[in-house]
Amino acid sequence: MSDEGQRLSFVGTSDLAGLIRGKSFPEGEWAKRTRRGIGWTPTNVQITCFDAIAETPFGSLGDLVLVPDETTRFRLGGARPLDFSLGDIRSLEGEPWDFCTRSLARKALNQLHEVAGAHVVAAYEHEFQLRDVPARRGDSYGFKGFRDAQAWAEPLMDALTAAGIVPDSFMKEYGPGQYEVVMKPAQGLAAADNAALLRLLTHDVLGGLGLKPTFAPILDPDSVGNGLHVHMSFVDDGGTPLTHDATDPHGLSPLTRHFIGGVLTYLDQILALLAPSEISYLRLTPHRWSAAFNNLGYRDREASVRICPVTAQDPEGIAKQFNFELRAADCAASPFLTMAAMVFAGVQGIRDRIDPPAPTQEDLSLLTPEALEAKGFRRLPTSLDEALKRFSGSAMVRQWFGDGFVDLYTAHKRGEMAAIADLDWRAKCDRYAEVY
């Protein structure tokens, strides 16, 4: 790129719709903008994923600033490179804004540290599909599909690396035109930053090559979904792993057990944050290898929380690698809200010493509702409407996120639903595919 002329620096926020929106300024102003930010409007928070503005308590009033965070800054490549960063939304006085997703995630992570002296180490595992690619038999996990993708997958790995994300693996997934990208874990907020960037970079790199990737939760009501699986473990201030305990039958330390206990107890109440679109609930049905019940699974890919296998053989290696994954999540959500919801629920589990139900290794969809209840399991909400009712009716969620956030988010999602109310399921899938 030529060094002549103006260069712009873009700062983005991952909003309630799970999209990156933002503004740019001349790159030479970077230092000033890290102190003062760039102007932002409160009502922007109610711009739904379809751009219609949901009911807003702010109207045309108020002012905020979007402040770039140096730790997220990198140079986005492509035909026209760009100085890029993620930022926090703050008041003019510099306080975190109650509806800034990144600030909410930070607040939850700080609580975990206060309560348990623990830091989250997480890796978001993403599935996505290429739109307009005809299905081809024999393609699931196939070499041909991988080879087709190599021309964009390798530039994508380069783009991830340039953004400070360490790639772990890449593969052709099961579904038509479906792929999976896994990143190495990162500590604290950086894990959610990486997830937001991975989605942006996938669109940027593949879009630049004329492809149309989508992270929408499901493209076809009759097919498999695109999951987001969040792998998590814990370390203390010195980096010592806190997740594993060799004396527990499933290897869970008390911290891990209680954290998972909290997540599963409140899962139905936070689901509207984790799986926040109407079509998310087409995916969260039995036999799609996603999640349909509030269960803990031991190496079971139909559990909401799954205890993952480790390949290490030595105690130190096992302690370091040991992790669990949340599977009842998708990419219609901001990765910061995913993190905030999980961690607030997990911290509550730690505070109240909640034990999770015993891990399942059976098909829960075969049980009667009574048998399910006797085992301590619940079917997760089966629609966004139901999930929003549990969310907005939850005293605990209100305590974690604040009444203002819960009411605003509910109105946001109601506005999103209204925008597509007249469409059938296939058309709804198409709308979401366009956006995510």
Judged by CB under 6 A, the chain residues 89 through 128 that form the site for ligand GLU are 127
Contact between 15 and ligand GLU (CB under 6 A)? no
Task: Pick the piece of the chain touching ligand GLU (CB under 6 A) from 77-85, 207-215, 282-290, 363-371.
Answer: 282-290
* Residue from 289, 321, 402, 411 in contact with ligand GLU (CB under 6 A): 289
Closest CA relative to residue 206, chosen from 126, 280, 299, 137: 126
Question: Which residue in 190, 211, 192 sits closest to 202, CA to CA?
Answer: 211
User: Distance from first CA to last CA of the chain, Å, rounded?
Assistant: 30
- Please, what is the minimum distance in Å from the beta carbon of residue 177 to ligand GLU? 13
- Find the binding residues for ligand GLU in span 294-313 (CB under 6 A): 301
> Two tokens at 25?
């300024």
**290 contact choice in ligand GLU, Mg ion, none (CB below 5 to 8 Å, kind-dependent):** ligand GLU
Which of 346, 354, 219, 371 lies closest to 293, judged by CA?
Answer: 371
Which helix H or strand E contains 374, and what residues bound it? helix 369-374
Instruction: Considering only residues 223 through 252, tell me which ones interact with ligand GLU, judged by CB under 6 A.
Output: 224-225, 227
Per-residue 3-state assignment (H helix, E strand, C coil) for 407-436: HHHHHHHHHHHHHCCCCCHHHHHHHHHHHC
The rounded distance, in Å, linking the Cα atoms of 234 and 252 is 11
From Mg ion, ligand GLU, none, which one binds at residue 414 (CB under 5 to 8 Å depending on kind)? Answer: none
Task: Please work out the total of residues on this chain that contact ligand GLU, with binding judged by CB under 6 A.
Answer: 10
Partner touching 224 among ligand GLU, Mg ion, none, CB below 5 to 8 Å by kind: ligand GLU
Beta strands (DSSP E) in 113-206 are 119-130, 167-172, 178-183, 186-187
Tell whether residue 283 is a contact of ligand GLU (CB under 6 A): yes
| 184 in Cβ contact with 247 (< 8 Å) | no
Shortest Cβ 16–ligand GLU spacing (Å): 22
| 162-191 positions binding Mg ion, by CB under 5 A | 180
Instruction: Report if residue 21 touches ligand GLU, rule: CB under 6 A.
Output: no
Q: Phi first, then psi: give them for residue 305, nearest 5 degrees.
A: -125, 125
Q: For ligand GLU, which is the closer residue by CB, 250 or 301?
A: 301
Picked from Mg ion, ligand GLU, none, the partner binding residue 241 (CB below 5 to 8 A depending on kind) is none
Shortest spacing between CB 127 and Mg ion, in angstroms: 5
What residues line the site for ligand GLU (CB under 6 A)? 127, 224-225, 227, 283, 288-290, 301, 327
